[in-house]
Every structure is written in C-alpha cells, then in structure tokens.
Structure 1
Amino acid sequence: MWSFVEKNKNDIIYLSLLLFSVGIGPHYRYLSPVSIKKWVGSILGLLLIFIVSGYNALHPILSATIGLLAIKASTVKYCHIVTFFFMFGYLFFFRLADKFGLPLASGQTNLIEMIIVLRVVGVAFEINGSWLAVAKAKKGGEKEVKPSRDGVERDEDFLELINPNLDDLFHYTFNYVGLLTGPYYRYRTFEDYFTLQYHKYADCLGETINTLRIVPVYVSLYLAFSTIWPLEYVLTEEHNNRHFLYRMMYPWVLFAAFRQRIYAGMTLAESVCTSSGFGAYPVQGRNKTGHGPTVGYLKLKQMSEEEAKKSQYDFATIESMDVWGCETVVTLRDSMKVWNKAVQYWVAMVVYKRFPVKPLKIHAALFVSVIWHGFHAGYFFCIYACPFYLMAEDIYYKLYYKNATGTAKKVIGFIMWFLRSHSESYQAAAFLLLTFDRIWIYYSSVYHYWYGVWLVFLVLGLVLNQVHLMCRPKVVREKSEVVEPSK
C-alpha cells in the first residue's frame, strides 16, 4: 500500500486538490463583494500552484505575468501575435529547462502551465477579435446575428468590445476555477460569472452531485486496467513472444486505461466549476463548450431578476468531455469533436479560424495542438496521423454509412466504430510511449501493420468511389458535375 502511495504521490496530491476545489465551491459562490471574490479566487489559484509546483511555481507565474504585460504593452492590433509567440516560446523553455541547468517541473506543473498558456493567449485573441469585430460593424453595419445550418440565427463571435484592465487579466489568469486541469473558458465567461449572477439560481449542488457520481467508476477502472495491463509490458520480450492478435489488441486496454484517467480528471475539473456555479447560463442561449451562449447573448445580459429565477440553466459552457460520445460515436471525425471539447474550441478559435493561409489551416491547428501537448515524438505520431485516417474514413462514410438504414446501418456502423476505436488505440500507444525508440519497439512488434491497413483502405476507397461515380445515372452525374465547382 505504502509503495503505491509513494509511486503515485503527485497524482494523489493533485486529486486531493481537485476535491478540495470542489468542496470550497459552494462557499466561494456566495462571497461578496465582487472585488473580494476575485481576489479570493486568485489567491486560492496561486496557493494551488505553489502546493503543486513548489519552487517551479515560478514558471507559470512568471510566464503569465510577462504575457499579461505584453498584452497591455502591445497595440490591440498585434497583442495576440506577440502574446502567442511569447507564451509558446516560454512553453519551449519550460519543457527544456534541464538544458539550461534548471530542474524539470513535474507533470502536474506542466498541466498548470498548459492551462495558463490557453488563458493568456486566449484573452489576447479575444481582445483583438472584439476590436476587429466592432470596427467592422461600425464600418459596414453588419447584423449581430447570422443564420446557421439549423435555421437558428447565431450571435457573432464578438458582440461587444473586450478590453480588461491589468487587474482583471490577473484575476482571470490565476482564478482557481479550472486552473488545475481546465476546462478552458473565455474571459467573457469569467466576467459574466461576477456580473450576471446566474449561479444564484442554477442548481449547482444537483449538477455537481450528478457529475461526480461516476468518478469512482472511472478511477476504479483506471486502476484495474493499468495494474492488469501495464504500459511498460509492451516493451518486454515476453510481450513480443505473445500471439500477434494479443499484441495487436493490447493498445485497446492501454487506451481504455488512459481514457478512464482523463474522464476522471476532466469530470472532477467540471465539478470544480459546477460547485462554484461557474459557467451557468440559461438554456435558451444554446450554450457551447468554451464559448458560452451562442444565441441572444446581449438579451440574456439584460434579463431581469424575476426572469433569471424562472429560467432553466445548464453548464454546457464548461463541459470538456462527452464520455458517452467518446465511447460510442462511429467515426474518428465525430470522436475528435467530443474529446476535450474546451481545448478543441480554443484551437479552432485561436488557430484554425485565424490562420491566414486557408490550405494550411488544418496543419497549423494540428501543429499547435502537438506542441501544446509537448515535444515528444508520440504526440506527432498520434495527432498528425488523424488526417490520413480521416481521408479514408470520409470516403466509406459517404459511400456506405451516410444513407444506410435499418440493420445495414447498424452493421456498417459497428464496423466503422471498431475501425475507429482500433485506429485511436494504435495512435494512443504512441501518445503514451512518448519517445521514438519506445514507439519503434512496439510498432515493430506488430510490423507497423496499421499504417499498411490505412494505405490499403485509402486506395481501395478511392477506387470504390470512382466506380460508384461511374455507376451513377448519367443525369445525376451531370447534375453533380454542375454543382460541385460552386461548393
């Protein structure tokens, strides 16, 4: 027992701090006035950093301080670019500290630094984005809402100018809510928490209990999987002598254990938010992870107290993981949408939508995602492999699954789910093994077979797609040829 505690000491401390953050939420929720509440949240955040990091607390505090000063010192036109390159530059230095004669920080401190990067860079892009949007609206008189595919008029990304002072930037960056494991949330969500007071009327306790109740299951499954099927086993000679099918399927249990760990951490992080009432918005805002309300935001801000009392609330804004979706969705494309949704939102808003070269948008997003996670080869093998699988998956999805019905759809769906799950497990093995030499040992033990399978799937899919196009009725084919160029 003691050896287990020693081995997992940092994880136990981290888990305890998350539970502590959940426990103080109800007390923090009702603190007043707002200025005191902000300072208490920031002091708690700094204490958590010192407890987790010790002397290495200097890294997140120093990087955040310089990053915030860079925002205020730069012009609004360029503050996001300056901040982005500084924060990611410091992230490089932080992870290579041993090369400069400094001790490397723990994995838990690394998680805090990662969250700090998201917050500081994110708020810089919010400031710049709101400035651009307001200037554009004044110049062209654009509407505040835009139609979406479902026919509902959505708010623009920025409806009003965001220009926090240095004190508010400090409080946003170091507030304890979401500081340990996320989720990422916008500065607008942070400010709404203190000004709109929705948390007074949301069922914070009920939501927290409902969120927490499954955590023991995740923890138990993680301990079981990681004990029975340890990661290091794939590097042993004994593993290499097992049957090929065993070696091929071993990543399934490795990825299953990893998922349970992530589910537990993310669920606890969401509970920190719900216990304090953070991220509660009326459901009519059609709230989205990371973003908050997407419909009628300015009207929600004008809601009377009577209306607020009668409204229904959700915490979709701070939802990181759709666990059921992660386990059941058919395609890798859908799986990526429900995994760590808050960070996915940040990457989409900060990198994908703002990158100036359209053909390179997806590569820029993937690259930033990789270096945010770390420099190890495993992150590149895992994350950069996704587009190659998606190329093949999209073909089969359109050819066989999209328009299928009944039993055929279920059978095809199961096959696609199995292939998606197997692909993720194969990629996750690289993510967990991290270094190239360790990855090579495992992939060599299974003859790198999955890359060959991907290539065969892709080539076969392209051939089948051409056959399908040739077999379509001439009228339909001619119609599609006319429509295609305009897409």
Structure 2
Amino acid sequence: MRIKRCIDNGWMDGSTNMFSCGSPAGYPCALLYRRLLFHQPATVIHLFHSFSGLALAAFNFGSQLYHSVVCVLVQFLMLRLMGRTVTAVLSSFTFQMIYLLAGYYYTATEEYDIKWTMPHCVLMLKLVGLSFDYYDGGKEPSQLSPEQKKAALLSVPSLLEVCGFSYFYGGFLVGPQFTLRSYQRLVAGELTDCPGKPPNSVVPAMKRFGLGFLCLLIYAIFSPYYPDSYYQTAEYEVRTASVWRTDSTEQYVLRCVLQEGVCILSGLGYNGVVDGKHQWDACANMKVWLFETTPLFSGTIASFNINTNAWVARHVFKRLKFLGNKPLSHVTSLFFLTIWHGLHSGYFLCFSMEFFIITVERQAQALVRDSPLLTRLASSPLYPFIYVVQQFIHWLFMGYPLVAFCLFTYDKWLKVYSSVYFCGHVFFLVAYLSMPYLRKALVPKKERKDKKQE
C-alpha cells in the first residue's frame, strides 16, 4: 500500500521511473546473453547489445533516441577520419559537450524530468572517453600510466562494436562508466571466473539486486513525506536539510546497485582474483557501507558515483597535470562535472560548496595530524564520542549543498537556505577563517616552521 501510494502521489515519477524500465530490464537481457549468446560470434553479441539498448531507449524516449544515434555515428566518423590526433580528441569533446548542453538548454524545466538528456550525459562520457583511449593507443607504452595502458585501444573499433559498447543494456540508461577494452573482453568471453563458460555471478548479482530492492522500499516509505517541494514549505523552516540526504540519496543508491547487479550477471563486473577470491566490483558505482558509515565528507565523495569520478580523474584532472597546479586542476574538474550535470544554478552552488567543504575538512585533518594534543585525543578512549560528534556534523551538512542540487533554480534554493539562515555557509566559513588561529594555538612552532619549509 505504501509503494502504491508513493506511485499515486507522483513521487516515483522521477528517477525510479527510469529504474522500472531501465535497470530491472537489464536482468533478463543478461540472462539471455548468458544462456544463448555467450558462445556466439562477436557480431551476434554486438547486434544483441545494440538492439536491446535501442529498444530500451525507444521504450523510454520514443523517437528522441535519434539524439544518441547521431552522436554515436559522429563519434565513429571522427575516429575513422581524424585518427589518433589531438584534433580528434578536442573535436570529440567539443561536439559531444555542446550537443549535451544544447539538449539541457532546450529541454530544461524547473522540475526533475525523465528525458533523453539523462542517458545522454552517460553516453557523452563514454564517447569522449573512447576518443581519449583511441588516442592513447598510438603512444609508446612508457608514456602511459597503468590505467591508460589498460584502456588504450590498439586498433580502430568497428561501427558495430561502437554501437554495442554505447547501447550495452548494463550501462546505457544510467551508467556505470566502463571502457571499450572492458566491453571487448566481455564479448570475447574473457570476463569470467571459469574460462570458456559463463561466469558464476548469479549469486553476487542477486545480492546487489536485493540491496537495490531494500533501497527501493526505503525510498517508497520516505518519499511521500519528504518530496523536494517540502523544503520550500513553512514546516521545513523548523527542520534540517540533512533529512534530504536520507530520502533522496536512496534513489541514487538504488540505481547504482541495481545496475551493478546487471553488469555482474553479464560478466562485465568481473575484476579478477584478490587473495584467492573472485572479485565482482569492476562496475561498482557505490560503496554502500562506506557511504552510510563514514564520518568524512571526502569519504562520502569517495564512495559515491565512483566510476564517473574515476572517469573525470583519468580524463580531466590527470590530463591537466601540465598546469602544475593541483587546486586549479581540481576546480576545473569540478566545473566540468557541474556543467555535465546541467545548467541550473543549483549545480554550480552544490559543487562550489563541495570544494569549499573538502578544503576545510583537509585543513582540519592536517591540524589533527600536526597537533600532538589532538592526535592524542583522536587515539584516546574519547574517540567514540568524537566520532559521534563528527558523524553528527557530517550527516547534518552532507545534505546541505545537495538541496541546491535538487531544487535547481535560484528562487527555490535561496528560499530554503534563507529559512535556515545559511547555517552551512556560516559554519564552514567560520571554520575556514578559524583554522590559522587554531594551528597557531595547537601546533608547536617548530612543526609549523617545518610545514612551511616543505
């Protein structure tokens, strides 16, 4: 009854509608691949992945699936005609990014909508990453990092191969990100714990499906009581933004673990053997236990949207090494993530707050590390109490920047933040301004000099 009321009230018109015709639909596709297609030629497998993904796109977006088709075809032509050149990489990035932003601009509303731009932002990363990996394949191995070597393409892929990679049901609608090399290994039957046979991944996949179903129940229970519009009501003014984290983030956990289960079932989630045990976390986009228990803001970020963050680190942050400035590379990467999500002001506020919060947290961690008094406290019997306080601050303010992310527009998020007197902004600004004085009081003079010399 609770789930039915949730649907009737319209609170599942957002991401969870995508779940009903996206992530769960991948399970029968993966089972069909395992049972009937695992030993078939690569051409047959590519066709199956292409048409199953196109069918999902047509079911969700109708004729608007042509947007993805256009971008896939243009990307293939760039690989074929421009070759392994910087021009090809820049052209790919420019075209795919402009196409996505144009889609955001012409389809934007003030509400959370299910539309073709949602899977297209995932596809955009895949296609741009493809151009980077093809470019890296022309370099000397000594010039590449270990992760670049793993993803580099030694030959130009065929159109059918690019289509299968782009529309693979385990990642087309909602992610996760994976490389064409991983997809090629899947098609070749290499991603299995028993060579020559489909992987023994049914039980690991069902575990993720079960966790996803649990998240669905949590979301169905809480979403009728705390829709996004709740945070603009008078009742909210006596409550806290952290409630948003409990409810709305369950949508994302649900999406990630369900789709991860599809990837595991197909074999794409296979990640080799560690300490004698087969690992199935190659497509893990969430570390759920870390996400729920970490007292650190950086811990939440490290456990959240893992594959997308890894893509940005590999293709944006690390490739900006020539700037010689880590903070500038970090800011540029966050700016890319911001516009990749959309053009609403709430995204810009959210990611700018994220950068500021992480900066303050790193300064606080350095203070604890450099101060003998704080180091002793952190390792004393008082630590459980310190952990509770730290976790309270984390839970209280983790949802604070996400309110702007959720409410999109200036008039909405400004009303919410005004109702709580911009408490998060004030808290972290005071902490940032206080940090130099705290270091002076708690860190010995000799330690401060050594740090300056470093």
TM-score of the superposed pair, with normalisation by structure 2? 0.87
Deviation per CA, 1:388-428: give whole Å up to 9, x if none: 11222122223237842143333333322222222221111
Pick the aligned partner of 1:210 from 198, 207, 212. Answer: 207
Who is 1:40 aligned against? 48
Alignment gaps of 5+ in structure 2: none
Who is 1:140 aligned against? none
Structure showing greater relative contact order (alpha-carbon pairs closer than 8 Å, 6 or more residues apart) = 2
TM superposition outliers: structure 1 runs of 4+ over 6 Å? none
Who is 1:175 aligned against? 168
Does the aligned pair in 1 maintain the 2:130–2:180 contact within 8 Å? yes
Deviation per CA, 1:411-447: give whole Å up to 9, x if none: 3333222222222211111111110100111111111
Matched, 1:157 2:148: yes
Who is 1:273 aligned against? 263
Provide the alpha-carbon RMSD of the alignment: 2.6
Does the aligned pair in 2 maintain the 1:193–1:279 contact within 8 Å? no
Identity across matched positions, percent: 21
Alignment gaps of 5+ in structure 1: 138-143, 147-154, 287-310
Matched, 1:385 2:345: no
SS of match in other structure, 1:318:
coil
CA distance in 1, matches of 2:115, 2:260: 17
Matched, 1:409 2:409: no
SS of match in other structure, 2:148:
coil
Deviation per CA, 1:307-362: give whole Å up to 9, x if none: xxxx7421221000011111111211222111010000011011101124233211
Amino acid at match of 2:435: G
Matched, 1:333 2:324: no
Amino acid at match of 2:303: V
1:230 deviation in Å? 2.4
Pick the aligned partner of 1:375 from 343, 348, 360. Answer: 343
Deviation per CA, 1:133-153: give whole Å up to 9, x if none: 43x55xxxxxx9x8xxxxxxx
Deviation per CA, 1:212-271: give whole Å up to 9, x if none: 11222211111222112222122224444xx3xx2xx2x222221111111111111101
Pick the aligned partner of 2:243 from 232, 239, 253. Answer: 253
TM-score of the superposed pair, with normalisation by structure 1? 0.81
Who is 2:431 aligned against? 457
Alignment of 1:69-218 (within 5 A): 69-78=77-86, 79-97=88-106, 106-134=113-141, 136=142, 155=146, 157-158=148-149, 161-167=153-159, 168-199=161-192, 201=194, 202-218=199-215
Does the aligned pair in 2 maintain the 1:68–1:170 contact within 8 Å? no
1:156 deviation in Å? 5.3
Pick the aligned partner of 1:423 from 387, 397, 418. Answer: 397
Q: How many residues align?
A: 428
CA distance in 1, matches of 2:112, 2:448: 60
Who is 2:30 aligned against? 25
Matched, 1:435 2:435: no
Amino acid at match of 1:336: I
Amino acid at match of 2:94: F
Pick the aligned partner of 1:354 from 316, 319, 324. Answer: 319
Does the aligned pair in 2 maintain the 1:208–1:271 contact within 8 Å? yes
Does the aligned pair in 1 maintain the 2:21–2:60 contact within 8 Å? no
Matched, 1:317 2:310: no
